[in-house]
Chains A and B, each alone.
Chain A
Amino acid sequence: QKEVEQDPGPLSVPEGAIVSLNCTYSNSAFQYFMWYRQYSRKGPELLMYTYSSGNKEDGRFTAQVDKSSKYISLFIRDSQPSDSATYLCAMSFPGGSYIPTFGRGTSLIVHP
């Protein structure tokens, strides 16, 4: 079992839908949680970075962390075709030199 589990999808939604992307993890030492977006043939780019449990909002994006359940989510409101990409969750902990461990990514397709 990998430390970070993420459904690869693809997840296909109509434009304007609310998207929910999720990851589970097994290592309770993880303290920092990140969501990256990766377009085809590009490197990942950071979308959200959270430390504690709870919600963090940035524009159309909301990141949610539930440490007790070892479960994190990314919500995208009013999804756009330009949101079509692979979304990678990542997490790290101080004992691991903050080196992020990534999930395998979920492919999202937003169709007009």
Chain B
Amino acid sequence: GAGVSQSPRYKVAKRGQDVALRCDPISGHVSLFWYQQALGQGPEFLTYFQNEAQLDKSGLPSDRFFAERPEGSVSTLKIQRTQQEDSAVYLCASSLDFQGQNSPLHFGNGTRLTVT
């Protein structure tokens, strides 16, 4: 595709449910990032992949959050036992170069998660 694609665009979950958010990066992009954006705030880093390797997961807020990119392309962010504070927009971004050096991040339009 022409850009980063995220699905679903909107997700409503009852508290305690598990959710899975999908990201299709731009073809050939090595690096993939997940960010969380709360209302009125800037994106906060969650985790980073270089191909299939998860090199940094320091931003994941709890062990309920899990991300994978098994074949180095599509990535899934999973949130178990969702809580109301998980409500946010989850942004995925990809970049061409190693570790994003001198290579801009291309963002998808995000998945808006609402936990009721």
Contacts and interface: CB of A to CB of B under 8 A. Distances in A.
B42 to A, nearest CB: 4
B42 A97 contact: no
Interface in B58-116: 91, 93, 99-101, 104-110, 112
A99 B46 CA distance: 10
A60 interface: no
B55 A97 contact: yes
Contacts, number: 56
A46 B42 contact: no
B39 to A, nearest CB: 11
Contacts of A6: 42
A87 to B, nearest CB: 10
Interface residues of A, number: 25
Contacts of B106: 46
A11 to B, nearest CB: 15
A97 B33 CA distance: 11
B42 A99 contact: no
Contact of A101 (B40, B45, B104, B107): B45
Interface of B: 4, 33, 35, 40-45, 48, 55-56, 91, 93, 99-101, 104-110, 112
21 contacts: A6-B42, A34-B104, A36-B107, A42-B109, A43-B4, A43-B91, A43-B107, A43-B108, A43-B110, A44-B105, A45-B107, A46-B104, A88-B43, A90-B42, A92-B100, A94-B101, A97-B55, A99-B33, A102-B42, A104-B40, A104-B42
